[in-house]
Structure 1
Amino acid sequence: MRFSRAKQQGTAAIFLVFLLVPLFGAVFLALEGTRYIQKQNRLADASEAAALAITMAHRENKTGYEQDLATKYVQSYIRGIKDVPVLAVTVKKGEDIVGKVRKPFYQYNVDAKTTHKSWFTSLLIPSFSSVESIVNKAIARNYPEIAGDKYVDIVFVSDFSGSMNQSWDRSNRKIDVLKNAVLKIGQQILAENDDKGKNRIGFVPFNMRVQRYVNGKKLCVTQLRYKDFISGNNSANYTPYEDVNWTRQVSSLTYQMFSNCWRDSRYCRGVTQNDLRTIYSVANKTQYIHPDPYKYVDVAKTVNNVFVDKISNIKLHPEANYYSRNKLWSQYSCNSAFHTIPMTENINKLNAIKGMKAFGGTSVYQGVIQGAQLLQQERNKYVTPKEKEAYKNRIKMLLILSDGVESPYTQTFKSLVDYGGVSKGLCQKIKDEFSDGDVPLYMAVLGIKFDASRQQAFQHCVGSENIVDVKNVDDLIIKIKDMIKKGTQTEGITKLHYRHLN
């Protein structure tokens, strides 16, 4: 049976159509498949770069920092993403054993997923779906190094309020345990110095203020800035807070005297009534005058001028004679035997801590500001480029040791820390001052039989991961050493690992 040429051509056309379907499908799959393989490899590169960057930065995922950073890496590496990449960033701590040495690490996992529109899609021809998903992941570890070859500057900002006299256990007061711990650790650190003296320790005890020796006199020092007047006061009848001669008034004016002066200028005895009105406003019309009321604190000026030593305005800092001459202010302000010990390489200078006594209220911000200024004063001793470069290699720490919340002014510290947002507040301002160093300034809080970790102001100041609560008396030295060890960790070595690593 013979077919005509026309019938043969028709049959061939049908066969050709059937052949073209898989042929086009193969072409579509080849082109699109190559594209998706490239996307898969590109996502692998992006995941690895993101994992390395996050691990080197090494920040807790409290504010979404790691998530944001990884998203930016993926979006920069890969084009044509249909939707926002789906990313999961996780971190865990662990240890590798190298020989007989345990090496701690922080491991970051980045799992990434992106979606893309396919170029070729058809219900008749074999092809990819209209939208395809690509997944990949990467793992990196950071092995922090303890900077044994770096010298340290450590300031202990230590609570010397009255509550520190309370018993920790049946045989120990909190203040005695703190002093013993700081002395032992300080002696160990300074004992490592060579003939040139390298490591340094500073000590800033505080209650409502700090106390310093200036030209042989121990002064009750404030590092706050103050508003000239408060709302409701007629400025014509009041002396600005920082212009009142507190040095004279605290040592010579009793509450009864200024109460009489308020009523009759003949009783003022050299004190102007305008000064008296400001003092009366500070006292809130009570006999127990606490300095630095929150209503007078200029939060913005204090934060912006945190490294300007206010001791130049000597009128703000009355002489702090132990249990004497402080006639105006409440005894809870500065009447105690303690004082700041500037940064020192000399072990013997720390021995003054033994005789110090705790008493009064609590204003941790005074200690924090004074401690930061001690670190800056030490840095300013380096003048030549070589000296400045050497200082960058030093490790700087400010360790806060406290057993309770602010008293009587509970708002001041939080307002200073949160001013303009945490990233612009007091503690961040202090950290930024030392950001040019090889190792950033390390700030931490240790709660002495106190849940410091629950205090929002401390959380915002140093970060939750840098707060430790100590309940057992025997743990105090151990925990302080752990703090110092953490603060001496450098950025260390960051390594990529195979994706199957758990």
Structure 2
Amino acid sequence: MGIAKRNKGHAAILFVLIIPALFGLFALGSDGARALQASARLDDGLEAASLAVAAFNDDNDDDGSGSGSEINQTIANAYINQYMDSMNSVTNVKIEKKSCEDIPDCVSGLEDGDSRFFEYSVTATTNHDFWFPNAFTENVETFNVSGTSSSRKYQNHAVDVVFVSDFSGSMGNSWDGGSKDKYEDLIDVIGLVTTELAKFNALENIDDNSVSFVAFNHMVRLDDGDGSGTNCYVQQLKYSGSSVSTTQTINAIFTEKSGCAYNSHAGGSFYDLVPTTNFTNFNNAISNFYPGGWTASYQGIIRGAQLLNKGANPRRLMIVLSDGQEYSSSNNTISNNLVNAGMCNTIRAHFDSLVIGEEQVSSKIAVIGFDYDLENNVALKNCAGSDNVYKAEDKNEILNRILELISEEIGHLK
């Protein structure tokens, strides 16, 4: 009897001693599994957020804090909140955008002939309650999980690009954003863009990228301006008597004009280049162009639409490159009147109504302004839409802006 009682007492003591350990293991297993699940869900949320940020392709300009732009913060937080449950808070959300030059893998890949890409990374920390607070350490009731995910943005589908380039007299000036005159830096940038497009064309693709070129001052210059091989300036406006007819001009956007207004004027030398995949000949041609004259961007936009209409790909992109506002009050008035009457909307609607094969055409007009305040050209801003107007401070930024516009494929970084 005495031995049995003593054994029961030992068992009771052992049970009392083991209970805390068993509870500790249970708490550790439960909260450990919760932490692992939270970490996995955060990784999934950040992956989705990085892809969404890459798709939106915002400039990611912030207030200097390094946290990313307001719109990217909104996108990232929305995805994190959607994926996480029982979360107290999300903090330290940071969105970073890197161009190819900032990514060693991309730089080395370019040397091997790989395609250029941009990389977007999203980092965040979330806070959660322990199910069994203070189980191991007093005054510890919550835990944090952190994660990072990145996405790369490549070009995926072939695109027809028309460069509508300002070749007015001011483009012959030097600037702080490059080592050459503005038009020379612009020609160099276009050459680099075609190098990237050529890499895509070298792959096994059904379609190839094409480029075309329109230079404008206060008119555009056509290689066959009179239909008989004469290189001359051609007017894109339509008149009613001596006045510009906004309605007739818009209705005739896709009607190719002919008839020489001038054979030579204001010192500029350039002409338009129809869509081509022969980038060597294309670059050789524009390397001999030089600027002169006033500025009337509507001339270039109308002619650019005509050249883009010659394309064969389901993606059409017009990139207007300019260093300033319309020169002369009359050009400024004409430009505003045409845009307000729907010139650019008409161009987009025309392309977006087309179907190539079984694929709907998608078009965009974008403006890249450099060496001037974008607010000074309201017509261009309204033409493209504020979301498609970009400011470039230097030559490399012009290049990156153009390549961002061309890049459409989104792929996760494994």
Band the TM-score falls in, shorter-chain normalisation: 0.5 to 0.7
Residue by residue over 1:288-339, the C-alpha shift from the partner in whole angstroms, topping out at 9 and shown as x without a partner, is xxx69xxxx8xxxx9xx99854578x9xx9987339xxxxxxxxxx999989
Amino acid at match of 1:111: T
- Change in Cα spacing, 1:425 to 1:483, as seen in structure 2 (3 Å) is same
Of 263, 270, 274, the match for 1:343: 274
State, as a whole percentage, how many aligned pairs show the same letter: 23
What residue in structure 2 maps to residue 37 of structure 1? 36
What residue in structure 2 maps to residue 60 of structure 1? 59
CA distance in 1, matches of 2:194, 2:86: 61
Does the CA-based 8 Å contact 1:40-1:134 persist in structure 2? Answer: no
In the TM superposition, 1:220-259 aligns within 5 A as 220-222=235-237, 246-249=239-242
What residue in structure 2 maps to residue 230 of structure 1? none
Does structure 1 residue 445 correspond to structure 2 residue 362? no
Does the CA-based 8 Å contact 2:352-2:363 persist in structure 1? Answer: yes
- Change in Cα spacing, 1:439 to 1:365, as seen in structure 2 (3 Å) is same
Deviation at 1:138, TM superposition (A): 2.5
- Change in Cα spacing, 1:112 to 1:432, as seen in structure 2 (3 Å) is farther
Deviation at 1:94, TM superposition (A): 1.0
CA distance in 2, matches of 1:141, 1:29: 34
What residue in structure 2 maps to residue 254 of structure 1? none
CA distance in 2, matches of 1:417, 1:22: 80
In the TM superposition, 1:94-493 aligns within 5 A as 94-96=103-105, 97=108, 101=112, 106-121=118-133, 131-142=141-152, 144=154, 153-163=160-170, 201-208=211-218, 220-222=235-237, 246-249=239-242, 309-310=252-253, 321-322=261-262, 341=272, 343-345=274-276, 358-360=292-294, 362-375=295-308, 377-379=309-311, 391-392=313-314, 396-409=316-329, 430=348, 443=366, 445=368, 447=370, 451-452=371-372, 454-456=373-375, 460=386, 462-464=388-390, 467=392, 469=394, 491=409
TM-score normalised over the length of structure 2: 0.57
SS at match of 2:41: helix
- Change in Cα spacing, 1:414 to 1:311, as seen in structure 2 (3 Å) is closer
Unaligned runs of 5+ in 2: 62-68, 354-358
RMSD of the alignment, in Å? 6.3
- Change in Cα spacing, 1:17 to 1:404, as seen in structure 2 (3 Å) is same
Deviation at 1:199, TM superposition (A): 6.8
Unaligned runs of 5+ in 1: 224-245, 251-290, 324-333, 383-390, 471-477, 497-502
Residue by residue over 1:149-206, the C-alpha shift from the partner in whole angstroms, topping out at 9 and shown as x without a partner, is x866342323344545x6669xxx979969987999999999x99xxx9775544343
- Change in Cα spacing, 1:341 to 1:418, as seen in structure 2 (3 Å) is closer
In the TM superposition, 1:64-79 aligns within 5 A as 64-79=70-85
- Change in Cα spacing, 1:483 to 1:53, as seen in structure 2 (3 Å) is closer
SS at match of 1:156: strand
TM-score normalised over the length of structure 1: 0.49
CA distance in 1, matches of 2:43, 2:77: 13
What residue in structure 2 maps to residue 330 of structure 1? none
CA distance in 1, matches of 2:21, 2:50: 41
SS at match of 1:82: strand
Deviation at 1:482, TM superposition (A): 7.9
CA distance in 1, matches of 2:136, 2:193: 75
Residue by residue over 1:440-473, the C-alpha shift from the partner in whole angstroms, topping out at 9 and shown as x without a partner, is 75846374xxx14x434578464547x3645xxx
